[in-house]
Amino acid sequence: MSRIEERFRELRNEKRAAVIPYLTAGFPSLETSERIFRALAEAGSDIIEVGIPFSDPLADGPTIQRSSQIALSQGVTTRDVLDMIGRLRETLDTPLVVMTYYNLFYRYGLEKFAADAERAGVDGVIIPDLPPEEAGDWLKTASGKLDTIFLLAPTSTDDRIEKVALATRGFIYCVSLTGITGARDELSLVLPDFIWRVRSKTDKPLAVGFGISTPEQAKEVAEVADGVIIGSALINVINRGKTQKEQVDKAKGFVEEIRRALRS
């Protein structure tokens, strides 16, 4: 059983949804993001998504796109991110999931990335532009080493849900709406029916992301899902900090708010 699967098993016993923050590594700087990742773990994050900056993040909205551009402008590389994860893993037990796009894996080398990621302490990967039908080479390489987490959208057909449920490990990433990432004022009205459709096909954990902005929305999502993923809203909070300490403290405080909401 992987670290991710073990965490969801613990959460089912606690009858609580997972808190899963996302942050682009290298934003606002590599050093600051490393401090923030540690703070997110201290705040009680159940799983942490570490974004590897990419020049053309098709699934991401302007907030995460800008964070990637800032990281890339400082020269942050895939190797830098894996080295940082290695340092985090020395003291953190929190499951760490890398999120980025397939071109980075391909250019890095599939076998080399899988080996380096495993060595660094990565538990899973999310590759938004890699559908299960085209993931054979990667799944063969990552098998037994890294959980590969696939995405589903409200528009996914029953056949698609079954394929993703069969291929994914760790959890299924359920996109709450059609479109790109970004904070939203309201949750999609189709979310409960969408989650029900996926649950009818699998017993694997379902985590919901895209558009979750507030503790109240997180609590609403937690009523139907096994995990709540928050990225753009966290980055917006970090942007309000004027110093490194303020940025770290604001990120930690935001995740603590989300945890309190899910426990209430």
pLDDT per position as a tens digit, 98-112? 999 999 999 999 999
> Most distant CA pair in the chain: distance in Å?
49
Kindly report the number of other CB atoms within 10 A of residue 236's CB atom: 15
β-strand 151-152 against 147-149: which pairing, if any? unpaired
Does the pLDDT value for residue 228 go beyond 50?
A: yes
Q: Is 49 a catalytic residue?
A: yes
Does 3.90.79.10 match the CATH number of domain 3-263? Answer: no
Our answer to whether residue 34 is catalytic in this structure is no
Closest CA to 122 of 153, 150, 87, 151: 87
pLDDT in tens, 113-171: 999 999 999 999 999 999 999 999 999 999 778 999 999 999 999 999 999 999 999 99
- Active-site residue identified among 5, 34, 46, 49: 49
What spatial distance separates the first Cα and last Cα of the chain, rounded to whole Å?
30
Instruction: Record the tokens describing residue 5, joined without a space.
Output: 């699967």
- Number of Cβ within a 10 Å radius of residue 160: 17
Name the residue ranges covered by the structural domains of the chain: 3-263
The phi-psi region of residue 101 (left if phi > 0; otherwise alpha if psi is between -120 and 50; otherwise beta) is beta
The answer, yes or no, to whether residue 186 has pLDDT greater than 70, is: no
Asked whether the predicted pLDDT for residue 201 surpasses 70, the reply is: yes
Among the listed residues 46, 60, 220, 256, the single catalytic one is 60
The pLDDT of residue 179 is above 50: no
